[in-house]
Amino acid sequence: MSNGNSEADRRSRRRKRRLTLGVIYTAIAIGLAWFFESQATTTIIFVRHAEKTSETETDPSLSAAGQRRVAELTRQLMDADVIAGVDAIYATPYKRTRETAQPLATALDLPVTSYDPDDNDAVLADILDKHKGKIILVVGHSDTLPGLIADLGASKRVPPIADYEYDNLYLVSIPWFGKTKTIRLRYGEPYQPAVTQ
């Protein structure tokens, strides 16, 4: 009779060990999944504000061409990610940048976070701290976007953006491990450089 009990005890102990190991492995798998998800690739989309009404005003609004470009940008970014879409939107405090960002922000029910165009470190630290692993749209200016992109450790060879060039869209991917990459795309009415004679 003691043989039967000891055999049953051994089976019971084996089952408990298997169950304990299963729970431990599951906890490790969940922990690793959480870690890798929290370290996911951050994607920042950089665009210059759309066409403005005036070159002489201090803080001009968008022109009709600029409004058409914004409609195209909104259409393109509404479903930027098949799962979640754009998670945050940043723009400088000028009318032209806010008017470029606002239609997408309204469509996605997101606030537009204002940033100082003269403080790259602050805006990039804020984005990387609050939105790691997310998709972020940053609306800036022709003279600020190349510096922002370079300060992320992405391409330092972003070509200068001409005065009337509004169609650039830069995708910067920041993986949790590996090299930051920059892709330049175009959207809306194409830029036609002036022909010099």
Judged against a pLDDT cut of 80, whether residue 162 lies above it is answered with yes
Taking 80 as the threshold, does the pLDDT of residue 194 lie above it?
Answer: no
Mean pLDDT of the chain: 88
% of the chain with per-residue pLDDT over 90: 55
Q: What pLDDT does 122 receive?
A: 96
Tell the residue number behind the tokens 């999944």, with chain if given.
33
CA nearest to 103, candidates 79, 67, 146: 67
- Reading across the β-sheet that carries 168-174, which strands appear in turn? 112-114, 88-91, 135-140, 42-48, 168-174, 181-186
What's the pTM?
0.79
CATH superfamily of 40-186: Phosphoglycerate mutase-like (3.40.50.1240)
Mean predicted confidence (pLDDT) in 83-96? 91
Share of residues in the chain with pLDDT > 70 (%): 90
pLDDT of residue 175: 86
The pLDDT, as a whole number, for residue 69 is 96
How are beta strands 88-91 and 135-140 bridged, if at all?
parallel
Q: Are 158 and 168 in contact (CB under 8 A)?
A: no
Residue 149 has pLDDT above 90, yes or no: yes
Domain spans, the chain: 1-38, 40-186
Quote the pLDDT of residue 39. Answer: 61
Nearest-5° angle of CA 127, CA 185, CA 98?
50
Cβ proximity of 91 and 114 under 8 Å: yes
Q: Residue 14's pLDDT is what?
A: 85
**Contacts with 96 (C-beta within 8 Å, 6 or more apart), sequence order:** 49, 50, 52, 59, 60, 61, 62, 66
Tell me what pLDDT residue 34 has. Answer: 65
Report whether pLDDT(75) > 70: yes
Write down the pLDDT at residue 83.
64
